[in-house]
Every structure is written in structure tokens, then in C-alpha cells.
């Protein structure tokens, strides 16, 4: 079974969404974890937009990368430039991947505008994760 770690800055939106989709698409063929270089808690809007697509991430927790220092991974995926550039050295033989997704938590405007930004990011991450699983799992 493959082991995947998804990294982002605060482990609140993008990495949580990716964790949800990677688990969904990989099923029992992979163990998926997510973490941040900081922890900001799981964003309620991320939970809501994933629920719209039938995936429940309400049980996810926001974890710090240090929690996974003693684990080995096959793949480490960074989902934002900040995490890629500022992630402390992570001793691993994992194959690394990077894709900078827009941060929906930075969206402004009405609640509907913000939710639309979350949906756009969700769809980008969903497409990426589906392809990642097809290519690597």
C-alpha cells in the first residue's frame, strides 16, 4: 500500500481537500495524510464544499508536519508555493510533487463569491487528485 503526505501552509483548505479526494480515488490502495507548516484548523467552507461533492472531511484534523517526521512516505505533494518554499527539511525517500492551487481562504466578496472560489479550487484539486491516483497508485 502506498503512503501519501499532502503539505500546505496551514493544513486548513487545499491540503484537506486533496486528502479527501486522494482517499476517495485511491480507496484501500493508499494511506493518505495531510499536514501544514502551521496549523489553522479545518476551514468550515472546505468541509461544506466537499460535502456538496459527497465527501465528508468533517472528521479531519489540522496537523503539523512534525507529527509525521518518523513516518515514511512514497509520495509527498505540496499544494501551495509557500509550503514548497518554506517547508523544513523532511527526511524522506518519497517522490515529491508540486502543484500551486489558488487559496480559496483568501477570496473576498460576498459569501457566494467566496464559496465559488472554494468550488473552483475544489474542482482543480479533484482533477489533479484523480489523475495522480491514475498515474501513481
What is the set of active-site residues?
A: 8, 80, 87
Q: What DSSP element (H or E) covers 6?
A: strand 2-8
Please tell me whether residue 129 adopts helix, strand or coil conformation.
helix
SS3 state of residue 81: helix
Nearest to 46 by CA among 105, 131, 101: 105
Sort strands 75-78 and 95-98 into parallel, antiparallel or unpaired. Answer: parallel
Kindly report the backbone phi and psi dihedral angles of residue 3, in degrees, each rounded to the nearest multiple of 5, phi listed first.
-125, 125
Amino acid at each position: 500500500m502506498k503512503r501519501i503526505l499532502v503539505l500546505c501552509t496551514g493544513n486548513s483548505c487545499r491540503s484537506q481537500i486533496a486528502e479527501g479526494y486522494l482517499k476517495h480515488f485511491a480507496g484501500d490502495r493508499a494511506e493518505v495524510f495531510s499536514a501544514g507548516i502551521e496549523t489553522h484548523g479545518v476551514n468550515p467552507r472546505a468541509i461544506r464544499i466537499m460535502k456538496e461533492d459527497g465527501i465528508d472531511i468533517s472528521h479531519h484534523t489540522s496537523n503539523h508536519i512534525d507529527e509525521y517526521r518518523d513516518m515514511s512516505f512514497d509520495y509527498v505533494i505540496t499544494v501551495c508555493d509557500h509550503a514548497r518554499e518554506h517547508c523544513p527539511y523532511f527526511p524522506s525517500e518519497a517522490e515529491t510533487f508540486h502543484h500551486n492551487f489558488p487559496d480559496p481562504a483568501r477570496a473576498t466578496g460576498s459569501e457566494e463569491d467566496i464559496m465559488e472560489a472554494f468550488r473552483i479550487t475544489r474542482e482543480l484539486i479533484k482533477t489533479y487528485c484523480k489523475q495522480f491516483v491514475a498515474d501513481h497508485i
